[in-house]
Amino acid sequence: MTTPENPRPPFPPFDAESAAKKVRLAEDAWNTRDPEKVALAYTPDSTWRNRAEFLTGRAAIVQFLTRKWARELDYRLIKELWACQGNRIAVRFAYEWHDDSGQWFRSYGNENWDFNEQGFMQRRIASINDLPIQEAQRKFHWPPGRRPDDHPGLSELGL
């Protein structure tokens, strides 16, 4: 059971295997689009920079994600490990979504993550750009929720 007190394996220091597992666990959580569940992966005083928005704490993370997923409809995310060292992981990602007018977007970005010894993320820095796409250009096709294991990742999709 996930609670705020339970440690969040894998733990730092990360190697390529444990970092890739941490990345996939984060992707899976974000694809639930459940702000409360996602926020449990962060320290109570976690700091974020998401685009030009700065946040501190789980309550702010929940508020941010609630707003995000109310605006970014049919959200599908793929994350990929870029690098890791010690308690830090660098990730690249892309996600597809549409707004309430039906305009689709593919959002591309990079994240830098910093973890405490219990496996909670204490800092997240995200840079993101949005590209309007046509619905026919979508590459992320799976039912809402976790990306199936046989669905291609970013590298396989040429992203």
**pLDDT tens sequence across 123-146:** 999 999 999 999 999 999 999 999
Nearest CA among 121, 97, 99 for reference residue 111: 121
Q: Which of 115, 133, 5, 11 is nearest to 76 (CA)?
A: 133
What single-letter amino acid sits at 142?
A: W
Domains and CATH numbers, the chain: 16-134 (3.10.450.50)
The pLDDT, as a whole number, for residue 105 is 98
Q: pTM for this structure?
A: 0.95
| pLDDT per residue as tens digits for the range 42-70 | 999 999 999 999 999 999 999 999 999 99
